[in-house]
Amino acid sequence: MKHLNKIAYIIVLCFLWQSSLHAQTIEKIAPGVWKVSFGTPEKFKPSEFKDAPALDAMKQLQDNEKPPFDLAEIKFKTIQRGCVAELTMDESEQIYGFGLQNNTFQQRGFRKEIRVNSWSTGNVGFSHAPVPFYVSTKGYGVLVNTSRYATFYCGTMRKATESVNIKEGGNASVASSTLDLYKPLEKPSNSMIIEVPFEKGMEIYVFEGPTTKEAIQRYNLYSGGGCMVPAWGLGVKYRGKGDYTDVKAEKLASYFRKNNMPCDMFGLEPGWHSVAYSCSFVWKPSLFPNPDRFIQRMDSMGFKLNLWEHAFTFPTSPLFDPLKDKSGDFSVWKGLVPDFVDPEARKIFGDYHEKTFINKGITAFKLDECDAADYKDAAAQWSFPEMSVFPSGIDGEQMHQLYGVLYQKTLLDVFNRQNKRTFFDVRSSQAFASPYPASLYSDMYDHREFVRMISNSGFSGLVWSPEIRETKSDADLIRRTQSGVLSAQLLFNSWYLNNPPWLQYDYEKNNRDEFLPNAKQLESQVRKLLELRMSLIPYLYSAFATYHFEGIPPFRALVVDFPNDSAVYKIDDEYLIGESLLAAPFIDGTSKRSVYFPAGTWYDFNTDQKYEGGKHYAIEMSLDQIPLFVKEGTILPLAKPIQYITPNTVFEITCHTYGNSCKPSTLFEDNSYTLDYQKDQFNKISLEWNGKKETVTKKGNYPGNSYNVVGWVKH
Ligand code: GAL
């Protein structure tokens, strides 16, 4: 922290606003990060639970030594409802972020309430991972360090003072429909008004750019750096039916191996618990009579086994008594709600998991139900209420907002201290979660929204998996699987399906074991896609390393890299993967769509057809073609597909070059099962081709070998 003191300086500003005297403190807290504090700070701020910032990496970014806008111009006030801040936007600024938003993308012109929920409610901002953070195309980011249900009025409100100058306009004509009558402001206002309820103060973090991308990088690095998932976490994840026995799970596992269907991770759903809603965290003897033997058998087939759970603790659980005095005053599904703000409660929960599961070979967990009951359903109030009281002093609202993050932290601490990598599924997250290796998922199932969520996840340090369950048709199955292949986690969540969806995608028939007549054909189409995913792992793994070390999200909207191209401002159905790939999924089984290419020349991954940037094209692809495009000048390392990853895996790499000469490309090499990369135990392998000569150069301290470059293909 010493070096921080050096750069930190404090300016106290006093100014008059709304006829009362208010002071705000402006402090530089890290390179390019400014904290503006007003009034009495909130006690349970997200920052209280965050990892240390990745300061060395932050120093690599250009630091302008001055904030991106005049921070003294932020107007604060406390009112009876809480605390309000007002910032001004330029006319042309576009706003993105607020976490895993599902049905809005460019956020200017919307009121967004940052409230965790298991389902969206209109487009008001509720989300599994609502993050009070936004970025602007003007090249800065703003985070409100709150665990309250904060509301951001992104240009939807005009102050009464603005009316004084308005002499013309108004609505002279009488509206002829309610739609017309209540239509949004023709032009959003320039005010960003933020309301934090209950609190008598606010803390705002401002992240410098100068570009949108660098503002995001700073946010991720300040959070601790992007997550490092194990290489096996980038393989295929399959979750079996909730009531599977050990025999059924093993049978399905051997189906994968016998039929050469790549799969790395196998997930058990609720049935493994002796009691599941709430959870006992004890194996059910009738379904899993010998868990140790089961874990060992799955492991011998190369599966990394993970367990579904939620934190609500059933009275018969061995965790119940130790957590009794460390839980909230409301129960959920008759279970305790552990107070994960209390380090002691986290330790009890974590130690139990370590002893009972992690030491026995369980590699990860699915942290379910940590968001909140669907707000729009008044009867299904399964979660704890906002009025809950917890021993640490946090209330139900704040706990809802932070529960996903605290839950991840509770179990991640164990993996970290064991020097093991993991990859969770989690249904909720919030601010500063970038370092957590966890992928968000949802019970919602709109393919279009799932793709938009990939674009949105990259604005706020989140990882998202558009899972595949049942589908409507062959085309829907294939297109959804393609979107899964082109996402951070490829997940088949068959928690209510007896058989894989490619054998039967109709839910009822699947559970009657009636297979599709063309099941084998679909299986082979899906196999090809799973193999493509395995081929992409080295590229994706490097993109995640860049996320960790530089803060650049591996999956991100086009606007992140092309903030000056106004044609991309609304594009939320295409996104970038790493530096060089552009995905443009086909939604709802279609085979035609319009694709916009940003600057550069782009190659169809399937056919090598070239497209010039700056234009829209009508693109048609058969179900055997993947909607993926490669930027000219790229060296794309593709691996020979394998079924699953082991600590001894060596990928056979073929470098695909696009164009007459290419930028060097990097493979990241380390022991992807441990955290030794934190001790400089890694290599960077530079792949180069200047149009004449191919070179492969390895630099670094890691003695192992995960890649073998076997060939070059010119496109
Ligand atoms: C849901 C979860 C599903 C599945 C199910 C099992 O809450 O989103 O993916 O795990 O619980 O009960």
pLDDT digits over 592-608, tens only? 999 999 999 999 999 99
308 CB under 6 A from ligand 1?
Answer: yes
pLDDT value of position 526: 98
pLDDT value of position 18: 39
371 CB under 6 A from ligand 1?
Answer: no
| CA of 675 relative to ligand 1 center, distance in Å | 30
Mean pLDDT of 690-707: 96
Q: Supply the mean pLDDT for the chain.
A: 95
425 CB under 6 A from ligand 1?
Answer: no
Q: Tell me the C-alpha distance between 33 and 423, whole Å.
A: 29
pLDDT value of position 14: 38
pLDDT value of position 7: 47
pLDDT value of position 577: 98
What tokens appear for 492 in the block?
Answer: 């088949």
CB 545 within 8 A of CB 276: no
Nearest residue to 354 (alpha-carbon basis) of 314, 311, 411:
411
CATH of 555-632, one of 3.40.190.10, 3.40.50.300, 2.60.40.1180, 3.40.50.10310: 2.60.40.1180
Q: What is the DSSP letter of 183?
A: P
pLDDT value of position 4: 46
pLDDT value of position 183: 81
Which residue intervals of 203-258 are DSSP H helices?
Answer: 212-223, 246-258
369 CB under 6 A from ligand 1?
Answer: yes
What tokens appear for 31 in the block?
Answer: 């390179």
Confidence category of residue 22, pLDDT binned at 50, 70, 90: low
| CA of 128 relative to ligand 1 center, distance in Å | 14
Q: Where are the domains of the chain?
A: 26-159+186-223, 231-550, 555-632, 635-714
pLDDT digits over 542-571, tens only? 999 999 999 999 999 999 999 999 999 999
pLDDT digits over 408-444, tens only? 999 999 999 999 999 999 999 999 999 999 999 999 9
CB 670 within 8 A of CB 620: no
pLDDT digits over 319-332, tens only? 999 999 999 999 99
277 CB under 6 A from ligand 1?
Answer: no
pLDDT digits over 182-223, tens only? 887 777 899 999 999 999 999 999 999 999 999 999 999 999
First to last CA, the chain: 50
Mean pLDDT of 266-281: 98
| CA of 368 relative to ligand 1 center, distance in Å | 7
* Atom in ligand 1 nearest the alpha carbon of residue 369: 7
Mean pLDDT of 23-46: 96
pLDDT digits over 222-252, tens only? 999 999 999 999 999 999 999 999 999 999 9
| CA of 19 relative to ligand 1 center, distance in Å | 52
Nearest CA, atom 3, ligand 1: 443
pLDDT value of position 171: 66
Residue 442's identity, in one-letter code, is S
SS3 per-residue string spanning 520-550: HHHHHHHHHHHHHHHHHHHHHHHHHHHHHHH
CATH number attached to the domain at 635-714: 2.60.40.1180
How far, rounded to the nearest angstrom, does the alpha carbon of residue 175 sit from its chain's CA centroid?
42
Nearest residue to 82 (alpha-carbon basis) of 234, 1, 195:
195
pLDDT digits over 574-592, tens only? 999 999 999 999 998 899 9
CATH of 26-159+186-223, one of 3.30.70.240, 3.40.50.300, 2.60.40.1760, 2.40.30.200: 2.60.40.1760
Report which of residues 8 and 390 the model is more confident about.
390
User: What architecture is domain 231-550?
Assistant: Alpha-Beta Barrel (3.20)
pLDDT digits over 456-484, tens only? 999 999 999 999 999 999 999 999 999 99
Same-fold call for 555-632 versus 635-714: yes
Residues near 45 by Cβ (< 8 Å), separated by ≥ 6? 145, 146, 147, 203
**pTM reported for the whole predicted model:** 0.96
